[in-house]
Amino acid sequence: MAGRFDGRVAVVTGGVSGIGAGIAQRLAAEGARLSLWDRDAAGLAQSGADHTAVLDVTDPAAVQAAAEEAAAALGRIDVLIASAGITGPNHPTWEYPVDAWDRVIDINLKGVFYCNRAVVPVMQRAGYGRIVNIASIAGKEGNPNASAYSASKAGVIGLTKSLGKELAASNIRVNCVTPAVARTPGAMEQAPEHIKYMLSRIPRGRFLELHEAAAMIAWLATEENSFTTGAVFDLSGGRATY
């Protein structure tokens, strides 16, 4: 697949670790110039990306500035992979700390909205774009003791469908993926019993591998994906029931 992203510029949020890092490596290997956005300044400094932004995606002004800086530095933004996110703590809904709930929603849902909102006008000016938002199987099915995470990812699915329809007449495709649990730093910080529960729900009987997630996400971000938009692509190892 070498060369699929030659001449393209890709923004990856949360690009220092987890699925974000996996897809960033895949895009770079296929020729993309990268702008990585993450709050991990040390990780960004070591990333070797063409452009980086130390960024809290909950700050809409900072997100807007990062988009403008990336477009100015690299000349365009062809691809956005909105991967920045957190899992939050594990509690029953009626015991879920309000501040933790707000933090999860702020990063996972509002942060994706801010990034989509900032990048779309850049793509519209160029007449081309591919956006892939990272949701979760929890957004489809709802994980017990993870109501904030599940609700935030359901919101990402709804946002993706809305934006995809709004841009359907253009050459900008907007889709999302719904991964099952992978061995990412954030996922492995959750309660051991919750990790065991999530793994038990995967018919494939194992964790999602980052290279598997990157393969699907990369195709959705290619020019070859010229028709599909506003869609939700399953990465759950058979778990999804719809």
Nearest residue to 27 via CA among 211, 163, 227: 211
Q: What does each C-alpha distance from 197 to 8, 127, 184 come to in angstroms?
A: 40, 44, 16
149 classed as catalytic? yes
Backbone φ and ψ for 214, nearest 5 degrees, come out as: -65, -35
Q: CB–CB of 233/131 below 8 Å?
A: no
Task: From the candidates 114, 149, 197, 242, give the one annotated as an active-site residue.
Answer: 149
Helix axes 98-105, 147-166, angle to 10 degrees: 30
Q: CB–CB of 20/6 below 8 Å?
A: no
User: So which residues are the catalytic ones?
Assistant: 149
